[in-house]
Amino acid sequence: MKNLLVTGGMGFIGANFIRYLLYESDFKGSVVNVDLLTYAGNMDNLAGVEKEFPDRYRFVRCDICEREKMQEIFDRFKVDSICHFAAESHVDRSLVRPDAFIQTNIVGTFRLLEIARGLGGGLELFHHVSTDEVFGSLGDEGSFTEETPYRPNSPYSASKAASDHLVRAYSKSYGLPVTISNCSNNYGPYQFPEKLIPLVILNALEGKPMPVYGDGRNIRDWLYVRDHCSAIWAIMKEGRRGDTYNVGGNNEMENIDVVRLVCDILDEFCGLYEKEPRRTLIEYVKDRPGHDRRYAIDSSKLTGELGWNPQESFATGIRKTVRWYLDNRLWVDRVRSGEYKAWIEEQYGSRPGRKLG
């Protein structure tokens, strides 16, 4: 893998992955980052990277659904491998506007696969990053494995399930060298503030109500984003082509316990809010439609075949995450204020799909 295309590389996980590749891994090639810079894509996530790696990193603003422009990028940068993060990814947004999820997650993946198919023997790998939400909801026992049937319960998870099936089908039908990873809930630096953990951190810090869906007893397996990045790279390097690997953090927690722990850490770091523990700001709200009750990932295949294990427990990872948001208020303020969006439009224009680089 000499010339790696990373789609959605300005997003939360994609940006962390690019940082991992360039600063920590044994990857020696070049990275081409393609991102449309929609609401969750943020160039501040990779501030300084292009200056530090001028010969190994390039950014191009483009919509992955635009076949001709994406083909130009493949040709120009001699792309031989792909790590595909680009996706609409928020369940709540998918309930309001599912069409965007169908277009980006399904059609966008199809466009990339078609271009990759055209590379023939020049394609080293197409790695597709997916989610445990494709498996639906678990009962009180058991975990998702690579053999678990797909049962998506939201437009978001249905669109990701469809894209998983497309990638697998292109492997079986056309012989494309592919790998797929299905991960549990990520958290860590650079996560967009609408997601649970950064939303709770920022609301609790500012004394705002912290909304918790339903009874707060929904269970998720939490995966620190750097651990996810190291797993993806291990799969890309050593995973069996055509195979799927589950990536989990071995950290099952009820949502309400996550929120309470964040409150307690902020009370420790910052002191009480107006002499009250921040737990008093928790507010239960009406549950969202199709809210899966429990997710849990069995990563034993990844561990057994490739020797990967998460390095962070939730107790250590969440403290690092809270501290990062406290130490990076400028990033937070730019994301939330609209200043960043205005800067992007000034620098690059607002027309989706405009190509840069």
Please give the positions annotated as active site: 132-133, 156
Question: For the CA atoms of 32, 309, 328, 315, what is the dihedral angle to 10 degrees?
Answer: 160
Residues in the chain: 357
Which CA distances in Å does 43 have to 15, 95, 208, 333, 351?
9, 27, 28, 14, 16
State both tokens at 223. Answer: 């995966």
How is residue 133 annotated by DSSP?
G
Question: Among residues 221, 242, 222, 245, which one has the least CA distance to residue 233?
Answer: 245
Place of tokens 């393609």: 34
> Is residue 118 classed exposed, middle or buried when 0-12, 13-18 and 19+ CB atoms within 10 A define those classes?
exposed
User: 16: part of which helix (H) or strand (E)?
Assistant: helix 12-23
SS3 48: coil
Distance CA 231, CA 247 (A): 7
Distance CA 254, CA 168 (A): 33
Please check whether residue 13 is in contact with residue 247, taking contact to mean a CB–CB distance below 8 angstroms: no
Distance CA 119, CA 292 (A): 39
Distance CA 304, CA 243 (A): 14
State both tokens at 77. Answer: 């940068």
